[in-house]
Chain A
């Protein structure tokens, strides 16, 4: 509601500015503005009309509706679908837990809402596909055919809510919150392990080869692992770059500059072709692992540069103060310098990770079938031959939805940082 009022407020302001400008600049300027506006509106109208006419007319969305499972999990066996579903529930509960623990209510609601919308997306496709007969019938079919999915969505929301509540309660007192922080870290490690075991199988579960993982599942896995792994590596590279040990410095600089000077496609080929040569005999990792290695190597170099920028933003006095209170080099960086540097680098790093999420599409070239791969596969099926527009439009929406969530989340992450990050120079006026 407040968002809407803010938008209306914004429009009002723009309107007022325009009127003011019109008074200042006279009729020729106004004529120009009108002409440009009409032209722009016409162009927008053409595009929207064209797209709309196609989406609700010529387009045949059955290619999407018929392949929803492919789009979401790839060739993961139908009987084992409960495993990725469980993974989803785990991740959802974990994000709820984290949101509740850190007490970021706005961020928490946002992630919750965003997640729900994203999960609903695949279910909306049949709705679109049913648009041609009649909207009402489509809605009925949607509700009837997808009660199970809606129930699952409800369960996910519940998992998230319970996680948030439980951890919010648990962090109400400080010593408990601190223990919780440590326990949470261990817990997240265990959850990641559980996710891998669930997806791969073994230990009583039927084995599912990672080459059968695909679609959104694979896109998210690649992005998540590359993000989580490249962050600490990037921080270490940034520190290595300013190390006083020449070897460490040279290796870091070489890593960063070589990777940044090479396209991601090349890095992925390298990971796929060269990694087996470097690794011990007979140890040939899965393509998925190679893709994660390539993406991680790539992203880490960029994260390192972002963190370097953050480090430059930390005042020299901070180093003096950290040393003067007796902290060693490790303590100085861990407790004083890096927290400030990373906070300063959050906007840049967030942008990096959004790019990384989209860049996962490139693993297509080492024959992995993530979202883009599936879009191509589906459009080559005999029943849907050549329906590229539909499949590509569909995955474009999914990519956009995720990056929108990521960028909004990063904006929210920045906010409290700015609020706290004040120069420790004298305040302009005394308050005490």
Chain B
């Protein structure tokens, strides 16, 4: 569970983070048929902040993160990303998605493309970069996630940890302002979790705004500026990790922590 205990922790300098709000969600609701997945979620995230979302399965944490780049349209409330309100407007949605990278539990790499092609696809076809530039950026990113030698392989030839690092590189290639992580290590074998968390921690230290849905408490302790507990579609508790894990206010949080710690 505590994968990061062995990792040298050097907390990013918080003073460099500005207080500009980049994600503003107000009273967000979402239901699937009769099931109310989100019942009024309000959260704001400042630029450079790392927010870790915890919660039992079915608590709506993944759904919430997926509404932030409108992979799930929300039913009610208001979401503003970097000054753009998410509505049905396709132009706005695509503009938001260009600025928001996402990493999935199942990696969702494109199996018919090589690692390099996975990473350069969006920069070439969405950002309209020349291929040379896109490939240069992609190779730099592969260096950054420590797998430069895998550029010409197909996703099916990589281990889970490697695939997830490629997925992170793919999301970063669009040079997003925000990164969403939807249980990035839940589908990984235990020995591969650390390599992915390390990459995420490095990313946090560059000042990237991150929202991370995870069960990795060690990561939350070491990297998060704020930890949020979801339950039954709402936020139960929201606090800096020092307080969240040692002195939680709510009974629900205590019960949750008792189960996972």
Contacts and interface: CB of A to CB of B under 8 A. Distances in A.
Nearest to A324: B102
12 contacts: A175-B131, A320-B104, A323-B71, A324-B71, A325-B174, A331-B126, A339-B112, A340-B111, A420-B111, A422-B154, A422-B157, A426-B187
B108 A321 contact: yes
Contacts of B102: 320-321, 324
A432 B131 CA distance: 28
A317 B183 CA distance: 14
A75 interface: no
Given A327-B125, A335-B121, A432 B109 contact: no
Q: Which of A331, A429, A432 has the most CB of B within 10 A?
A: A432
A427 B158 contact: yes
Interface string B102-114: 1010111111100
Contact of A430 (B107, B112, B125, B189): B189
B85 interface: no
Interface in B156-183: 156-163, 167, 170-171, 174
Contacts of B100: 324
B155 interface: yes
A335 B156 contact: no
B226 interface: no
Contacts of A79: none
A321 B97 contact: no
Interface residues of B, number: 45
B60 interface: no
Contacts of B187: 425-426
A318 B162 contact: no
Contacts of B131: 175
Contacts, number: 118
A315 B108 CA distance: 9
A336 B171 CA distance: 15
A421 B112 contact: yes
A323 B71 CA distance: 7
B192 A430 contact: yes
Contact of B171 (A315, A325, A340): A325
B122 interface: yes
A70 B191 CA distance: 71
A326 interface: yes
Given A321-B104, A424-B163, A327 B122 contact: yes
Nearest to B192: A430
B199 interface: no
Contacts of A317: 104, 106, 108
Interface of B: 66, 69, 71, 90, 94, 97-98, 100-102, 104, 106-112, 121-122, 125-127, 131, 147, 150, 154-163, 167, 170-171, 174, 187-189, 191-192
A324 B114 CA distance: 18
Interface of A: 175, 315, 317-318, 320-328, 331, 335-336, 339-340, 343, 420-427, 429-432
B161 A326 contact: no
B126 A423 contact: no
Given A426-B163, A426-B188, A430-B159, A326 B108 contact: no
B160 A426 contact: yes
Contacts of A322: 110
B128 to A, nearest CB: 11
A432 B162 contact: yes
Contact of B126 (A325, A430, A431, A432): A325
A413 to B, nearest CB: 14
A423 B111 contact: yes
Given A324-B69, A324-B101, A426-B187, A336 B110 contact: yes
A326 B109 CA distance: 14
Nearest to A329: B90
A432 B159 contact: yes
A243 to B, nearest CB: 15
Nearest to B119: A325
A331 B126 CA distance: 9
A432 B106 contact: no
Contacts of B162: 431-432
**Which 5 A-B pairs have CB atoms at the shortest separation, nearest pair first?**
A422-B156, A426-B160, A321-B108, A325-B122, A317-B108
Contacts of B107: 424, 426
B188 A422 contact: no
A73 to B, nearest CB: 41
A317 B121 CA distance: 16
Contacts of B127: 326
Contacts of A427: 156, 158-160, 163
Nearest to B146: A432
B118 to A, nearest CB: 9
Given A321-B104, A323-B97, A326-B122, A424 B155 contact: yes
A321 B109 contact: yes
Given A324-B102, A335-B125, A432 B147 contact: yes
Contacts of B154: 420, 422
B156 A423 contact: yes
B231 to A, nearest CB: 25
Contact of B110 (A318, A425, A426, A430): A318
Nearest to B96: A326
B160 A325 contact: no
Given A317-B104, A421-B111, A425-B106, A328 B94 contact: yes
B97 A326 contact: yes
Contacts of A320: 66, 71, 102, 104, 108
A287 B2 CA distance: 75
Q: Which of A323, A324, A335, A336 has the most CB of B within 10 A?
A: A324
Contacts of A323: 69, 71, 97
A342 to B, nearest CB: 10
Contact of A331 (B90, B125, B155): B125
